[in-house]
């Protein structure tokens, strides 16, 4: 079925199950010229709680990845904090959110450096458990300057975190005032305890579905928002394509409001559930064909991140089912080859920006036009692009006042 003709009118939607704006097929959305002022206010109650891993990253950049039994030299070296939840919360904190973390380290030099670095970025470590024995998590990261890829060799901390490490009073204190809880799907037994209590208190949950992990299926049942790696949707659903896999995820996870799959330099795809429309009044589209139409509307001449969306419709995946919603395509910044340093942590940076966008919607629903998905996706891509311009997951993370973000915060 062909797409309806483009119309420029938009309708503001206040239903909490739809995320921001509903529109007919939108043109690629670009940022406006930079302004010295930031007009989107920072919420007074802006607490985000993150549950998952922190670590120390030993980053070694090399001319090219070594062959077996090679002996090579680094071109640069950095020792820096890492771990999915640590990186994403650092990203969120630099954007102006109040970040708290639940995790575990040992009382060793690495654990102390993890704490100091998080605290320097304003992350609240009051609920981070410190064991007297054992070792803190760490990761060797080999950054290939030639291919702009990185290889990670992770050593989990010991002893591992268990639910008994987090008392009931600490759990309630950590959730006190939180507007959203983020899980990187590690420390799953503790994560499930936190997710259950967050859901009981009606606090939204975002899950990072990087890959299949023990306990992830249970954690996803609590998710209101999911951000996936490129391979996860099809691996988890066994669907034949990414768009059909996203439809399958929304059908399997009834609480899910949107799912985003990140595709590196190819941008991202979002499927947003819409529940306040009357299905019989919506047109129906086959989701794979619809994505191809959306791709055709990208302006390939634009270097900055943009996005384009479908109309609100019934989105059908053959052999899987139909959901009411919108499909959005976000592009990545076209970073010059000479400026790409390291992609470590780019996905975590993206999630930090998504947390910021959700927080704005939760806190200022009347201002939701300032950060609709059409703007959230390019904004998050811009934050991730900053991460890629420096060695390590945190060196390049932009602050809220960074000029590169000004146009997204108007």
Q: What is the pLDDT of residues 211-257, one digit of tens each?
A: 999 999 999 999 999 999 999 999 999 999 999 999 999 999 999 99
Question: Checking phi first, is residue 110 left (phi over 0); if not, alpha (psi -120 to 50) or beta?
Answer: alpha
Question: Per the domain annotation, does 83 fall within a domain?
Answer: yes
How many domains is the chain built from? Answer: 1
Is 9 part of any domain?
Answer: no
**What CATH number does the domain containing 24 carry?**
3.40.1190.20
Residue 289, pLDDT > 50, answer yes
Closest CA to 17 of 323, 287, 367, 370: 323
- Residue 281, C-beta contacts closer than 8 angstroms, at least 6 positions apart: none
Residue 2 lies in a domain: no
Exposed/middle/buried for residue 2 (C-beta within 10 Å: 0-12, 13-18, 19+): exposed
Global confidence as pTM: 0.88
Positions of E strands within 156-216: 178-183, 205-209
Q: What token pair was written down for 164?
A: 């008994």
First to last CA, the chain: 37
**Contact call for residues 318 and 36 (beta carbons, < 8 A):** no
368 domain-assigned: yes
Q: What is the pLDDT of residues 126-172, one digit of tens each?
A: 999 999 989 999 999 999 999 989 899 999 999 999 999 999 999 99
Tokens describing residue 104: 């575990």
Q: In 10 A of CB 304, how many CB atoms?
A: 17
User: Residue 326: inside a domain, yes or no?
Assistant: yes
Within-domain flag for 42: no
> Domain range holding 57?
16-30+47-409
Residue 57 contacts residue 150 (beta carbons within 8 Å): no
């Amino acid at each position: 079925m062909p797409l309806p003709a483009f119309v420029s009118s938009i309708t503001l939607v206040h239903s909490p199950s739809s995320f921001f704006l509903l529109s007919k097929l939108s043109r690629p959305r670009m940022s406006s010229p930079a302004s010295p002022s930031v007009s989107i206010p920072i919420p007074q109650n802006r607490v985000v709680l993150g549950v998952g891993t922190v670590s120390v990253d030993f980053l070694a950049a090399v001319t090219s990845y070594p062959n077996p039994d090679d002996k090579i030299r680094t071109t640069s070296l950095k020792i820096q904090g890492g771990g999915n939840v640590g990186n994403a919360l650092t990203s969120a904190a630099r954007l102006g959110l109040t970040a708290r973390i639940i995790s575990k380290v040992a009382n060793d030099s690495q654990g102390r450096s993890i704490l100091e670095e998080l605290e320097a970025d304003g992350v609240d470590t009051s609920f981070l458990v410190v064991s007297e024995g054992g070792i803190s998590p760490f990761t060797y990261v080999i950054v290939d300057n030639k291919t702009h890829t990185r290889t990670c060799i992770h050593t989990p901390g010991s002893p591992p975190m268990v639910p008994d490490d987090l008392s009931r009073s600490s759990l309630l204190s950590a959730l006190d005032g939180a507007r959203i809880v983020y899980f990187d799907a590690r420390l799953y037994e503790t994560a499930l305890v936190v997710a259950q209590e967050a859901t009981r208190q009606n606090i939204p949950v975002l899950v990072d579905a990087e890959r299949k992990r023990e306990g992830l299926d249970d954690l996803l049942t609590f998710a209101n928002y999911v951000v996936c790696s490129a391979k996860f949707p099809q691996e988890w659903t066994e669907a034949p394509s990414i768009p059909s896999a996203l439809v399958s995820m929304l059908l399997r996870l009834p609480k899910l409001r949107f799912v985003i799959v990140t595709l590196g330099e190819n941008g991202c795809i979002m499927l947003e559930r819409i529940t306040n429309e009357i299905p019989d009044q919506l047109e129906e589209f086959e989701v794979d064909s619809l994505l191809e139409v959306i791709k055709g509307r990208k302006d390939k001449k634009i270097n900055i991140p943009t996005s384009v969306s479908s109309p609100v419709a019934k989105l059908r995946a053959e052999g899987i089912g139909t959901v009411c919603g919108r499909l959005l395509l976000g592009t990545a910044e076209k970073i010059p080859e000479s400026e790409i340093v390291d992609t470590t942590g780019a996905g975590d940076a993206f999630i930090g920006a998504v947390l910021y966008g959700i927080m704005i919607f939760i806190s200022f629903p009347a201002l939701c036009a300032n950060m609709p998905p059409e703007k959230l996706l390019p904004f998050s891509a811009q934050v991730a692009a900053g991460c890629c311009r420096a060695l390590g997951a945190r060196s390049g993370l932009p602050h809220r006042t960074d000029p590169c973000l000004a146009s997204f915060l108007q």
